[in-house]
Amino acid sequence: MYASTSQKLLAEFLGTLWLVLGGCGSAVLAAAFPEVGIGLLGVSLAFGLTVLTMAYAIGHVSGCHLNPAVTVGLVVAGRFEITEAIGYVVAQVLGAIAGAAILYVVATGKAGFVLGGFAANGFGELSPGGYSMLSAFVTEAVMTFFFLLIIVGATHPRAPAGFAPIAIGLGLTLIHLISIPVTNTSVNPARSISQALFAGMPYITQLWLFIAAPIAGAVVAGIVARWLGDED
């Protein structure tokens, strides 16, 4: 029995909400808290765990994309219908914004809370490590390329069954370990849009990179993955 369109879209909405709430929430609420600061490793693991848990929870419903770049990449790879892509992207962006809104309500309930970057993505002065626009674009494109390659490979019919969420979750964890210092790690336009809306105009003006670079990386990965999976 196949899931209906509304079931798939709700699954993508809730899954992306969880990704933002869990991943960005760990950065905003836990990483900066002196007594229980989880640091780079903790935030990276949190993002990986959101995808791993949701892959098992809703993978059978929507495929658990949670990311417009992943959806586009899967279309290019021939693993997803283009007619469904727009609905998925809209659901993902709305879910991400809902997750960021919940996080904002929780975070601002603490006396003296300073919004700061609100786990948003940036380059130049907004980069955690002060990395340039070129460094940020290359990082986001390459990291998304490999993320999509992992997703397509791990979910291939010839891959070991049942282990895809683990590979994908650990892949996202590794990506964050590499790229948080450069861009605060996006590889996901929906995640970037949601946080920038709350972080303010400086981050909003840089959003183009965190939409263009992940999608570019995913498109190239889709082409490569399609060729690698061609049994002919």
Q: Which residues, 6 or more positions from 1, have their beta carbon under 8 angstroms from its beta carbon?
A: none
User: How many Cα atoms are found within 13 Å in the side-chain-facing hemisphere of 166?
Assistant: 5
- Which residue range(s) make up the domain with 113? 5-228
- The DSSP string of the chain is -PPPHHHHHHHHHHHHHHHIIIIIHIIIIITT-TTT--HHHHHHHHHHHHHHHHHHHHHHHH----SHHHHHHHHHTTSS-HHHHHHHHHHHHHHHHHHHHHHHHHHTTSTT---TTTT---SGGGSTT---HHHHHHHHHHHHHHHHHHHHHHTSTTSPTT-HHHHHHHHHHHHHHHHHHHHS--S-HHHHHHHHHHH-HHHHTTHHHHHHHHHHHHHHHHHHHHHHT---
CA distances from 64 to 9, 85, 129 (A): 10, 13, 31
- Looking at residue 229, its pLDDT comes to 80
The structure tokens listed for 173 are: 């964890």
- Looking at residue 61, its pLDDT comes to 97
The structure tokens listed for 54 are: 């949701």
Among 196, 203, 149, 206, CA closest to 172: 149
Domain tally, the chain: 1
- Looking at residue 209, its pLDDT comes to 98
Residues of the chain with pLDDT under 50: none
CATH number of the domain residue 132 falls in: 1.20.1080.10
Any idea which residue has 């989880």 for tokens? 38
- Looking at residue 147, its pLDDT comes to 98
